[in-house]
Each structure stands twice: as C-alpha cells, then as structure tokens.
Chains A and B, each alone.
Chain A
C-alpha cells in the first residue's frame, strides 16, 4: 500500500499555486539585502544594479513569450494584469465617452473565464460598455467561430483565456487572435495557466495583451506581467493608477525587484524545461485519469479529453459529494467544485457553464500536477480517491437508488 510521508499532504493543487523553485529563491535572495536599490535611482550603483536585474528579468519574460522586452510590464499578478488590460483598453478604445447615452463599446469574453476577467467586464458593463459573455460548449472549448458570430460593428475588445483554470481546456487562441487582427479588434488573453507550461509566440499567436502570473510557474506570489504589443498594431492602455511613471506609465509605483527577479528566473527555467516537464506531466495526468475511469463506474472527465493542459484533471464522481470526498482523502491537497468548500452554496460556475448537472458539479475534484509531482504521488492519489469514492458510495442513498433502477432526475426532491 502506498503511504504518504508523515504529517504531509500530497500536493495536487498546482493550478492554485506552485511552490517556488529553489533556484528561483536563490536568484531572489541578494535583492532583499545587498542589492536592495530602487531601480528608479539613476545616480548610484544601488539603483543601477537593481535596474540591471529588472532588465534581465524583462528579457527572460520576453523570451518566454516571443516578445520584445520593451513590451513586458510588471504587475502584482494576473488579476492586476487582467484589470489593466481589460479596463485600460476599454477606456482607451471607447467609441463614445461616458455619459453620452450611447454604448461606449462592445466587449466579448467567455462565461467560464476567471473572476479576474469576468468582474472587470461586469464593472465595464455598469459603466456603459456592453459585454457578450459567450456560453461554454459542453467540451469547454471556445472557437474562433464562436467569437466571430458575436463580433459587432462596435466591438473593441475580445478577452479569451488561453486555458481554463478549473478544467484545463485549451481555447483556439491563435485563431481568435488572427480573427481579431483581421477585424482590428484588440485581443487580450489571460494566459495564467498557459504561459510557462506551453509555448507562446505573441507574433505567431496574434496576441495584443497577455496576462501571466509568477506563482503559477514556480515563481513568487505578488508578481506578474502583462505583455502589451508595441507594433502592428501599437496597443495603448489607460493606466488605472497614477504615479511616478514607471513601466512606461502603464503601471507606476516602485518596482517589486525581488519578485520581478524571481518571475524572470522562473520564466527562464520554464522555457528551458517546458518540453520535458510537459511530456512528463501529460503522461502522469493520463495515468491519473485513466486509472480513475477504469476503476470506478460513473466517473467522468470534465472538458475536452485531448485539447487540455498537461497538468489539470477535473473529474466528477457520481453519487458522492465533493467536500466529503475531500475529507476522505485528507492526505491529498486537491480542489473541489463543491459548494460546501466555500461560503456560498453554489457549485462551480465553470462546471455548470459546461452543462455538467448540479449534482455532478458538487461531486468533482480538480487535481493539478506540477514540476515536483512524482509518479508515486499520482499512484497514491488514485488509491485514496478510489477507496474514498467506494466508501462514500456505500453511504450514498443516491447510489442505492440508481442501482435499484430509479431515475434520479424523475424523483421529486424537497428543496431548501
């Protein structure tokens, strides 16, 4: 029997955050103590050496994205990058000023985007922009055709995540980008789960704005980047905060040098190790998914089976509930689509958006692998989850009813 190390959980929540790679920490350390200067200090060695470090990080991030280093803006993370991209572009490219009584511009996004995209879009809606939230198809993949059919004369911005954070499905980003360029619409992608894991070339992929985060790619928390295209076309943004003009005025404020150095190093490592990491993780994820599906009946993989990230698996287990499932596998650090893990009683809007029934959305686990996940971790997880699902099904009145041939959708349930 597989055993978890004493007092330790097997970490399978790398889509929530990753540990810092020790090589990243090592690169950051001197910038806390010896090389602590403000890169904005132009008159002494302290300023110069930290500016040099920031420049190097900018090159490292640019190299990961196939961009020019002048196109990389450092932020506090992907949430800020998304806000700056979406609101900054909307305000800059508006068709009518606020209060003119006309639509200020039309924006297209997907209904299963991260909240850090949905909420800025909803704010813009309140401020006079119109937003189309495209419904997700059952396989979770947004195509260029879906975007094309939503484009209007006054569409100014499309924001489409590259890969979904809950189910790992991959949208048709290069084709959506090409469509936007053809129609002269600004294209933003939230690449938080993609960049660093999968190849990016902002030229070939036709991207104008791209958000990414440090702590999803083995870098530190509290730092991220926004790629802003400088030519063909030059993208302009209205800054959301005012100050000392750092980051070409897009994002004023003293630079988070330690974080930026960490993000740069993390980007460099991801670029160097992407192919090997990706190939290994695809194999591990398939083992995980296949083992669960073969050992358990009524077990479904959410989202498209093939067009998905190497490291994210989202699985629904019929007739058991997500929180109790997580309790039964307490040695595993995973994430649940269940309502019961959050204060709200709503199951995951992403799974609901795919048309996964509420009862299955309550019964799903997201397992996300990473650079430090071992084969034995996956084997241990499978054993734990299979055991837990079987135990909970022994307890489940729904499983009994199903096995007795009762159609659960036809039962009249009480409602609270």
Chain B
C-alpha cells in the first residue's frame, strides 16, 4: 500500500512508544489510565496509556504500543501527541475523522482511526473509573 508522508513519518519515527509499567503495575496506579482495544485475530491491537495530573485533570504524558499495520501504528502515535497537555474532556473530544484528515488515511484504513479513538476513550474512562469520576456511558463504536 502506498502511504502518504505523514503516515510514513509516524511509522518510521513513532512518538511516545512505551508504557508506565507492566500490566500488573498499571492496574494499581491511580494516576494512569489504560486503553487496550482491538484483537490479535483482527490484526490490530492498540494500547494507550495516559498519565494524568490529579490536581489539574490534565494529561501530562501519554504512551502507546501497537500491533497492527502502518496506519494503526501512525494513528496511535498521533493520538499520544494530541493527548499530551489536554484535559480529560478535551481528550474525549478527539474524533477519528480528525485523525483520518491529519494522516490522510486511505479509505480501507479508516478503521485504524476508529480504533485509535476507541483507545483514547478507553484510557480516559479507565482513569476516571479508577478515580471515582463519572464515566461517559455512550458506546463509542
């Protein structure tokens, strides 16, 4: 598949790769929210982790790992860039269509942006649930 330069750039130089700890460690950390979405048999799994300042509710850091095609890697890499410095509500406002536009994702890869949006929501909701904040109920997709 011939990709545009932004996808290639994120794929070759992914931003914010990593985690804030193992799966077990993360579960006990109240300042970290995790979104793990997709499925191996579908060829895409994204894990997004956000570290939130409990005082301000601002996402101070974000990290990702991704098993998936170039578009999936680029979408999750971009998501971490966009999340850093946002409040939880602003993070929730990120839409998959914005990701599609920014990366010029080809039509057959739209689902990668949907998955990234799901991962963002899942991570924010995980943080909220851990901290007893009201969790947005609407089903994402």
B39 on the A face (CB < 8 A): yes
Q: Which of A209-217, A241-249, A279-287, A338-346 contacts B (4 or more CB under 8 A)?
A: A338-346
B46 on the A face (CB < 8 A): yes
- In the docked arrangement, what's the CA distance between A345 and B69, Å? 12
B23–A320 touching, CB < 8 Å: no
A324–B70 touching, CB < 8 Å: yes
A321–B43 touching, CB < 8 Å: yes
- In the docked arrangement, what's the CA distance between A413 and B115, Å? 13
B40–A408 touching, CB < 8 Å: yes
**Is the contact region of chain B dominated by helix, strand, or loop, or is it mixed?**
mixed
Residues of A close to B46: CB separation below 8 A: 397
> Which residues A109-164 have CB closer than 8 A to chain B?
none
B68–A324 touching, CB < 8 Å: yes
For chain A, the count of residues having a C-beta within 8 Å of the partner chain is: 33
A398–B1 touching, CB < 8 Å: no
Smallest beta-carbon distance A212→chain B, Å: 31
B69–A324 touching, CB < 8 Å: yes
Closest to B36 in A: A397
- Across the interface, B67 reaches (CB within 8 A) one of A327, A341, A347, A398, namely A398
Closest to A358 in B: B41
A416–B111 touching, CB < 8 Å: yes
> Which residues B36-71 have CB closer than 8 A to chain A?
36-47, 65-70
B11 on the A face (CB < 8 A): yes
- In the docked arrangement, what's the CA distance between A355 and B11, Å? 31
A203 on the B face (CB < 8 A): no
A327–B70 touching, CB < 8 Å: yes
Q: Which of B14-22, B79-87, B93-101, B123-131 contacts A (4 or more CB under 8 A)?
A: B14-22
A414–B38 touching, CB < 8 Å: yes
Residues of B close to A397: CB separation below 8 A: 36, 45-47, 65-67
For chain B, the count of residues having a C-beta within 8 Å of the partner chain is: 35
Smallest beta-carbon distance A415→chain B, Å: 6
B67–A345 touching, CB < 8 Å: no
Residues of B close to A416: CB separation below 8 A: 38-39, 42, 111, 114-115, 141
> Which residues A295-354 have CB closer than 8 A to chain B?
319-324, 327, 338-341, 343, 345, 347
Smallest beta-carbon distance A145→chain B, Å: 32
Smallest beta-carbon distance B133→chain A, Å: 22
A404–B65 touching, CB < 8 Å: no
> Which residues A94-118 have CB closer than 8 A to chain B?
none
Smallest beta-carbon distance B41→chain A, Å: 3
- Across the interface, A414 reaches (CB within 8 A) one of B17, B68, B118, namely B118
A375 on the B face (CB < 8 A): no
- In the docked arrangement, what's the CA distance between A415 and B114, Å? 12
Closest to B37 in A: A414
Closest to B43 in A: A362
Residues of A close to B19: CB separation below 8 A: 400
B1–A340 touching, CB < 8 Å: yes
- In the docked arrangement, what's the CA distance between A318 and B138, Å? 35
Residues of A close to B44: CB separation below 8 A: 321
> Which residues A255-294 have CB closer than 8 A to chain B?
none
- Taking A340-B69, A397-B66 as contacts, is the C-beta distance between A324 and B11 under 8 angstroms? yes
- In the docked arrangement, what's the CA distance between A406 and B41, Å? 16
Residues of A close to B43: CB separation below 8 A: 321-322, 338-340, 345, 347, 358-359, 362
A395 on the B face (CB < 8 A): yes
Closest to A359 in B: B40
B23–A327 touching, CB < 8 Å: no
> Which residues B1-17 have CB closer than 8 A to chain A?
1, 3, 11, 14, 17
> Which residues A337-391 have CB closer than 8 A to chain B?
338-341, 343, 345, 347, 357-359, 362
Smallest beta-carbon distance B44→chain A, Å: 7
- Across the interface, B1 reaches (CB within 8 A) one of A319, A341, A394, A400, namely A341
Smallest beta-carbon distance B117→chain A, Å: 12
Residues of B close to A394: CB separation below 8 A: 17
A345–B66 touching, CB < 8 Å: no
B41–A359 touching, CB < 8 Å: yes
Closest to B70 in A: A327
A92 on the B face (CB < 8 A): no
Residues of B close to A347: CB separation below 8 A: 43
- In the docked arrangement, what's the CA distance between A347 and B39, Å? 13
A4 on the B face (CB < 8 A): no
B103 on the A face (CB < 8 A): no
- In the docked arrangement, what's the CA distance between A297 and B7, Å? 29
A398–B45 touching, CB < 8 Å: yes
Residues of A close to B108: CB separation below 8 A: 343
Query: What are 13 sample pairs from A and B whose C-beta atoms fall under 8 A apart?
Result: A319-B67, A324-B11, A324-B69, A324-B72, A340-B69, A343-B108, A345-B42, A358-B42, A359-B40, A362-B43, A397-B45, A413-B41, A416-B114
Beyond A347-B43, A395-B65, list 8 extra A-B contacts (CB 8 Å).
A321-B43, A323-B70, A324-B11, A339-B43, A362-B43, A394-B17, A395-B73, A397-B46
